[in-house]
Amino acid sequence: ETIFSNKKLLCINDSKATSFDASLQSLQNYNKIYWIVGGLPKYQDYFCLKNVKKKIVKAYIVGKNTSFFKKQIRNDITYTVSKNIRNAVNNIYKDLELSGNSKSTILLSPAAASFDQFNNFENRGNYFKNIVIKKFKKRLNV
């Protein structure tokens, strides 16, 4: 779901992506990605970021099982542990670089289930959407 898009920024809610393979589809389709990832990982899920790591500016790890995600991405991309979506959005707001010719992407594509912090992926996605719109409203003229 596209939350908003303008010349400088695209914001995508892909909360439904509950495995790495599902997130990989979004990671392949966007550039200059500020990636919110985390939650309850699927049993034996494995991340292969080789083909998309150049597209990711930074990852923001959320949820209770941060150690799993740190191990999966540590050697491939820069990350910070944000614990929850609100902190991740605040961190992205500070980190976001809107200069240059290419559009930046804020991507919630957690590669994990939402049950550690939400009832379901829809609740997680709606929460993300509300936080992003409130935080970026003035900056983006949304």
Mean model confidence pLDDT for the chain = 92
Whether 36 has a pLDDT exceeding 70, the answer reads: yes
**71 contacts: CB under 8 Å, gap ≥ 6:** none
Whether 15 has a pLDDT exceeding 60, the answer reads: yes
The pTM of this model reads 0.95
Reference 116, options 69, 58, 46; nearest CA is 69
Reference 91, options 101, 99, 80; nearest CA is 80
Whether 141 has a pLDDT exceeding 90, the answer reads: no
Per DSSP, helices labelled H in 12-119 are 20-29, 66-73, 85-95
pLDDT digits (tens, 9 = 90+) for 46-105: 899 999 999 999 999 999 899 999 999 988 899 999 999 999 999 999 998 777 778 999
Q: How many distinct helices (H) and strands (E) make up the chain?
A: 4, 6
Taking the C-alpha atoms of residue 17 and residue 136, their distance in angstroms, rounded to an integer, is 23
pLDDT of res. 102:
81
Taking the C-alpha atoms of residue 33 and residue 96, their distance in angstroms, rounded to an integer, is 10
Find where tokens 């200059």 sit: 32
